[in-house]
Amino acid sequence: MTISPELSVLLHENRQFDPPADLAANANAQPEIYERAAADRLGFWSEQAEFLTWDRHWDEVLEWEAPHSKWFVGGTLNASVNCVDRHVDAGNGGRVAFHWVGEPEGDTRATTYAQLKDQVCQAANALTDLGVKKGDRVAIYMPMIPETVVAMLACARLGAPHMVVFAGYSSEALSTRIIDCGAQVVITADGSWRKGVINELKPAVDVAMDSCPDVRHVLVVKRTGQEVDWRTGRDVWWHDTVEKASTDHTPEMFDSEHPLYIMYTSGTTGTPKGVLHTTGGYLTHVSSTSRLIFDMKPETDVFWTAADIGWVTGHSYIVYGPLANGVTSVMYEGAPDAGGKDRWWKIIEHYGVTILYTAPTTIRTFMKWGEEYPKMHDLSSLRIIGSVGEPINPEAWIWYHSNIGGNTAAVVDTWWQTENGGILITPLPGITATKPGAAMKPFPGISAEVFGNDGKPVGRGEGGFLVVTEPWPGMLRTVWGDDERYQRTYWSKFPGVYLSGDGAKKDDDGDFWVLGRLDDVMNISGHRISTTEVEHAIVSDLKVAEAAVVGASDPITGTAIVAFVTIKASVDTEGEAGVRLVAELRDTVAERIGKLARPRQILLTPELPKTRSGKIMRRLLRDVAEHRELGDVTTLADSTVVDMIAELMADAPAEAEDTTNGSAASGVADSTTAEEAGGHA
């Protein structure tokens, strides 16, 4: 198998960092936890589930008929009660749930648990008035504002699975997802602030509605205040409905396996998959990982996942995990350099953030900006700093540890995926001696392995497929509307074993190093985008004959999209016409998917390198995109084609005539590539 070139870089850093002594002494997770979970995996998960408030206790921890699992069978609970009501009932209603920081300086709002409960009840009542019932899907296309959390929890309270679409996705991406899951109500806002500019959301929803005739209502939060088009009867304002509704709402209790949410994510084929998560197992997984990996202490901690709620990281570690633990969080609306490149550090100092969770692409952006910005602020409150979304290169790890963590905070590099629900491989901050670049060990109760092609564990130091051999509570239950695809995608290569799509190796100590995707999924600033998805968008332009997309390594975004496109013979591609065409194609991708998928570079080429059977050799195109010596060309039908493309590439204007892909690290933040882009979207 091929292993990503990052491997060689990863292995150059050999230092280990012991867990900070004071953290170790008081950590929620103590060393015996690994033994406990290994001795009785289901007993361990059952103990974790006891931290939640159940209306009816479960009869059985797990029912497993591979590849379908049911967790905490027979148990009933309500996710919103677990995230909100029970903290109020326990006398902690006065504790701040969210310190929300809007992008414009000084635009802040603190919401206590008691206030959050009232707002969730109001939204649940308003949604009921709009006809939302248990089982109905509700689409959410919103900025990073407190109402987004309220909307999600109100859906959870009603047993109406939410389907959040990242607000940087295009209207077409939104409508495809709405249609696929059959949502009839959409919650959005007029816009959001991004680098001082309004990112308009309501107009994008209006366009999406043209192809979603089944949507009955669009509920709109007024955030930015500009004029918006209005469809009377369909559109309703949040402030006219939710804010006027009663704060009394009696929650219904749902089966542990009742659907909680659907989140779409890219796979190797063109259409994104609707990953389905259910209630009891998911909540157990995200609340226990929050408590044990981020060592959450609700009385003293201030937690900040600097990601967008539109990604799974936001669902699990802005909303459900922290709230289930009753901790105080920070939530930030805008770009990391809005108001200055020290904006994040100012926020951390101001609120005394103790735990920060972000993505390598953002860390690399901060590295590029320079250490003078974090130095402007006192960051000594930070005791745990986390990373997620892509492999973290040791250099970024060390920079993060020393410049943000003051050489004392514990770094947790956490590996997981949308499908996993919560973190699967990670250090535990009071136990694990960490190695920069390694995700270290499966979380207690998680059975991760590295398999060879034969379905057996590979030897130490050898690369292989990262798999999970036993079910876990937060696992996806199916692909919405396509269980066959669920079985085929994740469970068919090694029957009964979950295939992650990532490559990994275990080192001599048995610690895990995640090496990146083995399939056609690219990881752009921590976002998953499939090569086919981008190819489909490009060939939707009638001037295009054929397109091949590859992910090329990029110092900031990890991977960048490079497209090789052949244009129909009748179309003029000379000089200015060619330049215009490239710009047009990049815009087409932005329109069809979102700006985050806009290729860094598009090379127009008369032909693509193919095998004799007509298969495009992407491997060679990746070599070309990365300016590497070409690999084996013997299977090509015509080996001169790839030489010609390599020459064209060498003559092409410096990479990224426009690198503004607008992407955000797991929704975290604009990476440098997006600095000029004016935002997420």
Sheet holding 96-101, edge to edge: 108-112, 96-101, 328-332, 302-305, 355-358, 384-387, 410-413
CB of 242 to ligand PRX, least distance (A): 30
Contacts 24+ apart (CB under 8 A), 671-677: 671/361, 671/362, 671/364, 671/365, 671/525, 671/556, 671/557, 672/364, 672/365, 672/368, 672/369, 672/556, 673/525, 673/554, 673/556, 673/557, 673/560, 673/600, 675/337, 677/595
Segment near ligand PRX (CB under 6 A), from 87-95, 155-163, 416-424, 470-478? 416-424
Least distance to ligand PRX from the beta carbon of 146, Å? 23
Q: Does 153 bind ligand PRX (CB under 6 A)?
A: no
Q: For residues 193 and 465, which CB has a smaller minimum distance to ligand PRX in the complex?
A: 465
Task: Assess 6 for contact with ligand PRX (CB under 6 A).
Answer: no
> Smallest Cα–Cα separation from 309: which of 664, 674, 3?
664
Q: Is 551 among the residues that bind ligand PRX (CB under 6 A)?
A: no
Q: How far is the CB of 285 from ligand PRX (least distance, A)?
A: 13
Q: Residues 6 or more apart from 106 whose CB is under 8 A from it?
A: none
Is residue 391 a contact residue for ligand PRX (CB under 6 A)? yes
Give the nearest distance from C-beta 172 to ligand PRX in angstroms.
20
Per DSSP, which regions of 283-371 are E strands? 302-305, 328-332, 355-358
What is the Cα–Cα distance from 178 to 191, expressed in whole angstroms?
19
Asked if 285 touches ligand PRX (CB under 6 A), the answer is: no
Tell whether residue 557 is a contact of ligand PRX (CB under 6 A). Answer: no
Q: Which helix (H) or strand (E) holds 466?
A: strand 463-468
**461: burial class by Cβ within 10 Å (0-12, 13-18, 19+)?**
exposed
Residues 6 or more apart whose CB falls under 8 angstroms from that of 65 comprise none
Of the residues 389, 421, 430, 558, which one makes contact with ligand PRX according to CB under 6 A: 389
Q: What does the alpha-carbon distance between residue 203 and residue 187 come to, in Å, rounded to a whole number?
A: 13
* 439 touching ligand PRX, by CB under 6 A: yes
Per-residue binding string, ligand PRX, 494-533, x by CB under 6 A, is ------xxx-----------x-xx-----x----x-----
User: Is residue 290 near ligand PRX by the rule CB under 6 A?
Assistant: no
Closer residue to ligand PRX (CB): 310 or 471:
310
CB of residue 430 to ligand PRX, shortest distance in Å: 19
> Which is nearer to ligand PRX, 212 or 440 (by Cβ)?
440
- Per DSSP, 677 falls in state G
Question: Cβ(144)–Cβ(192) under 8 Å?
Answer: yes
4 binds ligand PRX, rule: CB under 6 A = no
**Residues in the chain, how many?**
681
Q: Rounded to whole angstroms, how far apart are CA atoms 510 and 579?
A: 51
Residue 500 CB, nearest approach to ligand PRX (Å) = 6
Rounded Cα distance, 32 and 39, in Å = 11
Using rule CB under 6 A, residue 416 touches ligand PRX = yes
Q: Which is nearer to ligand PRX, 345 or 357 (CB)?
A: 357
| Of residues 398 and 617, the one with the C-beta less far from ligand PRX | 398
Minimum Å gap between C-beta 330 and ligand PRX is 19
Q: Which is nearer to ligand PRX, 170 or 418 (CB)?
A: 418
Q: How far is the CB of 337 from ligand PRX (least distance, A)?
A: 23
84 and 116 Cβ atoms separated by less than 8 Å: yes
- What is the smallest separation between the CB atom of 317 and ligand PRX, expressed in angstroms? 9
Token pair, residue 318, equals 């802005």
Size of residue set near ligand PRX by CB under 6 A: 23
- Cβ-based nearer residue to ligand PRX, 80 or 666: 666
When asked if residue 432 is in the footprint of ligand PRX (CB under 6 A), the reply is no
Q: Does 393 bind ligand PRX (CB under 6 A)?
A: no
Choose the binding region for ligand PRX from 63-71, 179-187, 414-422, 591-599 (rule: CB under 6 A). Answer: 414-422
**Token pair recorded at residue 130:** 């709009």
Q: Where are the extended beta strands (E) located within 327-366?
A: 328-332, 355-358
Stretch that binds ligand PRX, among 363-371, 389-397, 486-494, 635-643 (CB under 6 A): 389-397
Q: Is 313 in the site for ligand PRX (CB under 6 A)?
A: yes
Smallest gap, in angstroms, from Cβ of residue 168 to ligand PRX?
14
Residue number, nearest CB to ligand PRX: 418
Strand arrangement, sheet containing 138-141? 235-237, 217-221, 185-189, 138-141, 162-164, 259-265, 273-278, 478-479
Contact predicate 412/387, CB 8 Å: yes
Strand segments, DSSP code E, in 352-405 are 355-358, 384-387
Rank residues 404 and 585 by Cβ distance to ligand PRX and give the closer one. 404
312 binds ligand PRX per the rule CB under 6 A = yes
Dihedral sign from CA coordinates of 345, 349, 352, 354: positive
**Member of 190, 333, 413, 675 binding ligand PRX (CB under 6 A):** 413
User: Which range touches ligand PRX (CB under 6 A), out of 111-119, 170-178, 385-393, 535-543?
Assistant: 385-393
Provide the pairing of β-strand 512-517 with 328-332.
unpaired
Q: Near ligand PRX by CB under 6 A, which window of 367-375, 413-421, 569-577, 592-600? A: 413-421
Beta bridge partners of 355: 303, 384
CA 630 to chain centre: 33
CA quadruple 409, 415, 421, 424: dihedral sign:
negative
Q: Which of 119, 265, 478, 661 binds ligand PRX (CB under 6 A)?
A: 265
Based on the shown chain and the rule CB under 6 A, indicate whether residue 418 belongs to the binding site for ligand PRX.
yes
- Least distance from C-beta 439 to ligand PRX, angstroms? 5
Q: Which of 72, 351, 415, 494 binds ligand PRX (CB under 6 A)?
A: 415
Closer to ligand PRX at the Cβ: 160 or 276?
A: 276
Alpha-carbon span 663 to 673, nearest angstrom: 8
- CA pair distance 607, 589, nearest whole angstrom: 21
If binding is defined by CB under 6 A, does position 277 make contact with ligand PRX? Answer: no
**CB-nearer residue toward ligand PRX: 44 or 317:** 317
Is residue 328 a contact point for ligand PRX (CB under 6 A)? no
315 binds ligand PRX (CB under 6 A): no
Which residues face 164 on adjacent strands? 140
Site for ligand PRX, residues 441 to 500, rule: CB under 6 A: 500
Q: Assess 422 for contact with ligand PRX (CB under 6 A).
A: no
Determine how β-strand 463-468 pairs with β-strand 498-506: antiparallel
Q: Which of 417, 432, 659, 663 binds ligand PRX (CB under 6 A)?
A: 417
User: 254 vs 303, which CB is nearer to ligand PRX?
Assistant: 303
Q: Which is nearer to ligand PRX, 221 or 668 (CB)?
A: 668
CA trace torsion 366, 370, 371, 372 (10° rounding): -120
Residues 6+ apart with CB under 8 A from 364: 393, 396, 555, 556, 671, 672
Q: How far apart are CA 386 and CA 393, in angstroms?
A: 14
Query: Under the rule (CB under 6 A), what is the footprint of ligand PRX?
Result: 265, 312-313, 388-391, 413-418, 439, 500-502, 514, 516-517, 523, 528, 666
